[in-house]
Amino acid sequence: MFSPSLGKLTSYKDGDLVIAVCKEKVLFPFKNIEKHLDMQVMDIGIYNGKRVVCLNLPHLEEGVSIRALFAEAELEVAHIAALASHLAWWRATYKHCPICAKPLKEHDLERCLRCEECGENFYPVICPAVIVLVVKDEKILLAHNTRFPSGRYSLIAGFVEAGENLEDAVRRELMEELGIKVKNLRYLESQPWPFPNSLMIAFAAQWESGELKPDGLEIEQAAWYAYNDKLPDLPPPGSVARRLIDGFITQHR
């Protein structure tokens, strides 16, 4: 059982469980703490009765990618990794006040950084993104993004823009990237997505109108796939995209 804490900087104590993070790599539990006893760690919570601390390292050769850990680890371990990675990025990025440039300090009672000069509080930045499972005639929409590995297809996703609600973000992404409209939009689930600081919010929708016209900028190819078609390379297990795709296949089988 994991209970998160405020994420305060502290010193390592004997008996702590250490999670080491480095950009998009992670290692939990981290054993070679003796080499890093002079570094501060971040208290991120209690797991199975032991304190968990995060160590942010510039290099972590023996670590695994967070994506791989999401695919293989138990849900609570993935939660710990997501929190540690997100908070490590936040603390490394937000060191000075964006208003007056004075150093930021930890708040005593909240998970936030405070500027004692101008009194502003700065909380962990969370950037919401939407992802959508679109169905047409019992087929799902899969697309190849220009940033994907060769042959990889997934669901359409994108970040929510300022002044936009989640549903409008879904509709805009589909129109901008593929030129289609959808209806019967409904929420499915969400997932912390620490790359480095997102929350992925998943929807399902039905195709309403339009032909698939990839924009060529973000989406290179797209097509409709039935559950029993030979599917292209899909996102790895552990991602919300893969859960939605697997759920569609299981339901129709």
CATH number, domain containing residue 89: 3.90.79.20
Do 162 and 242 lie in one domain? The reply is: yes
pLDDT of residue 47: 97
Do 89 and 131 lie in one domain? The reply is: no
Identify the domain containing residue 35 by its residue range.
Answer: 2-93
For residue 25, being part of any structural domain is answered with: yes
Domain stop point among 70, 93, 116: 93
For residue 98, being part of any structural domain is answered with: no
pLDDT of residue 229: 95
pLDDT tens, 47-82? 999 999 999 999 888 889 998 999 999 999 999 999
Helix (H, G, I), strand (E, B) or coil at 22: strand
Cα separation, 168 vs 252, in Å, equals 28
Do 175 and 83 lie in one domain? The reply is: no
For residue 44, being part of any structural domain is answered with: yes
Cα separation, 91 vs 84, in Å, equals 11
> What is the number of domains present in the chain?
2
Q: Strands, E, within the chain: which ranges?
A: 2-4, 9-10, 17-22, 25-27, 41-47, 50-56, 64-65, 105-106, 113-114, 121-122, 127-136, 139-145, 156-159, 181-193, 198-209, 219-226
pTM for this prediction: 0.92
For residue 120, being part of any structural domain is answered with: no
In which residue ranges of the chain is pLDDT below 70?
A: none
Do 169 and 89 lie in one domain? The reply is: no
Contact 201, 126 (CB under 8 A): no
Do 29 and 75 lie in one domain? The reply is: yes
For residue 115, being part of any structural domain is answered with: no
CATH number, domain containing residue 232: 3.90.79.10
For residue 112, being part of any structural domain is answered with: no
pLDDT of residue 138: 95
Cα-trace Rg, the chain: 21
